[in-house]
């Protein structure tokens, strides 16, 4: 137990603006070089491999690569090679493996197998000396610094930004649109008192639903994981489209719903879902632009003006990290020491 509950998680959340600036100032040139080298090999398809929080970062990369570059992407099933011994033909396929520690044995084994099968392999980690970096042909260091809290926070946003810069590098862009993110992130994190007030809605929640569409969907999945691993509230993450296909029946005026509404095509696609939720009397909280928050029961207004839709996930997750922290504290628990859990792999 930490001396002050949540001390480690809180400090690592607060580090994120500095981490984003470090990536833009120090990491971006290396990321551009890696992207240029891989672009020259003209991969025909992309596979993404990850676990846990990194899996949500990989899903974000899937949206980026398919929308921004038109590259078809898929998420791997690692057991096909590690448990079943499958030998797929991966010539001209780019495999991106995202892992904060770079030490997960199944990720290392499956990446090594993919490289032998002809894949172009890229590891995205927080540890340049990791086994995953060693087995991969290319490596991107997300430069987040040591992360000690069980709930990953700064390594998630660092992974998102690194993957964004990589995707932009593949298309010959320098990713300059991301330059304002550190300052915006600092402004969002300075509004913790708003989140503390919002957290009072969830102190006694028995479950919650988190939904989004498009670029916001990885945010919904990551927010649900943060809520479950810190406060133990069962949090179910659904694409807005999937929510309408059955799970909507469990939504009532007791169980809260958090909608992550990106300002752009994803938010537009989510609008019918928001309308249905309001029609059911749901306790709807919106993380997104002001007009969407004003139409909900409550929410948190994001500074989306001038921020492209593909960059908004780096801001969307910040109030939700704080929410997981504040709900856990309000419930008398310590997010730094969740019961029966331990960090799977240390990141450095």
Tokens of 316: 């969307």
3-state secondary structure of 295: coil
Interatomic CA distance for residues 46 and 162, integer angstroms: 17
Calculate the alpha carbon distances from 268 to 31, 67, 103, 210, 212 in Å.
32, 16, 39, 17, 11
Separation between Cα atoms, residue 210 and residue 224, nearest integer Å: 7
Among candidate residues 154, 226, 290, 343, the one labeled active-site is 343
Q: Which residues 6+ apart lie within 8 Å of 149 measured at CB?
A: 8, 9, 12, 335, 336
The runs of H, that is alpha helices, within 79-144 are 79-82, 105-116, 131-135
Classify burial at 82, counting beta carbons within 10 Å of its beta carbon; exposed 0-12, middle 13-18, buried 19 or more: middle
Question: Encoding tokens for residue 212?
Answer: 């989004």
Q: Based on C-alpha coordinates, what's the Rg of the chain?
A: 19
Give residues with Cβ within 8 angstroms of 33, minimum separation 6.
none
Please, which residues have CB within 8 angstroms of residue 36's CB and are 6 or more apart in sequence?
Answer: 169
Q: Is 343 a catalytic residue?
A: yes
Residue pair 96/61 in contact (Cβ under 8 Å)? The answer is yes
- In three-state form (DSSP H/G/I as H, E/B as E, the rest C), the secondary structure along 52-68 is HHHHHHHHHHHHHHHHH
> Euclidean distance between the first and final Cα of the chain, in Å?
21
- Of 134, 138, 154, 137, which is closest to residue 146 (Cα–Cα)? 154
* Cβ atoms 145, 15 nearer than 8 A: yes
Residues acting as catalytic residues: 343
């Amino acid at each position: 137990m930490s001396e002050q509950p949540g001390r480690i998680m809180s400090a690592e959340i607060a580090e994120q603006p500095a981490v984003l600036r470090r990536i833009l100032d120090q990491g971006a040139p290396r990321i551009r070089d890696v992207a240029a080298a891989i672009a020259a090999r003209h991969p025909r398809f992309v596979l993404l491999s990850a676990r846990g929080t990194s899996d949500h970062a990989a899903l974000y990369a899937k949206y980026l690569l398919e929308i921004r570059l038109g590259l078809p992407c898929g998420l791997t099933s690692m057991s096909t090679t590690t448990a079943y011994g499958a030998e797929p033909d991966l010539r001209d396929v780019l495999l991106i493996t995202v892992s904060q520690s770079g030490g997960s044995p199944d990720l290392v084994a499956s990446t090594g197998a993919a490289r032998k099968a002809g894949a172009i392999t890229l590891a995205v980690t927080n540890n340049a000396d990791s086994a995953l970096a060693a087995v991969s042909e290319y490596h991107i260091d997300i430069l987040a610094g040591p992360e000690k809290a069980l709930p990953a926070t700064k390594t998630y946003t660092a992974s998102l930004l690194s993957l964004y810069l990589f995707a932009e590098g593949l298309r010959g862009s320098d990713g300059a649109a991301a330059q304002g993110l550190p300052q915006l992130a600092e402004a969002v994190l300075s509004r913790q008192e708003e989140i503390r007030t919002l957290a009072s809605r969830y102190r006694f929640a028995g479950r919650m639903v988190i939904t989004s569409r498009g670029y916001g969907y990885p945010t919904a999945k990551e927010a649900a994981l943060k809520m479950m691993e810190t406060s133990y509230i069962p949090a179910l993450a659904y694409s807005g489209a999937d929510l309408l296909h059955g799970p909507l029946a469990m939504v009532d005026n007791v169980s809260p719903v958090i909608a992550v509404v990106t300002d752009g095509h994803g938010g537009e696609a989510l609008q019918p879902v928001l309308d249905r939720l309001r029609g059911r009397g749901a306790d709807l909280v919106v993380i997104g632009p002001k007009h969407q928050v004003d139409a909900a029961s409550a929410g948190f207004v994001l500074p989306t003006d001038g921020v492209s839709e593909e960059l908004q996930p780096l801001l969307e997750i910040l109030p939700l990290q704080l929410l997981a922290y504040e709900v856990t504290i309000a419930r008398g628990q310590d997010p730094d020491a969740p019961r029966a859990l331990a960090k799977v792999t240390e990141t450095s």
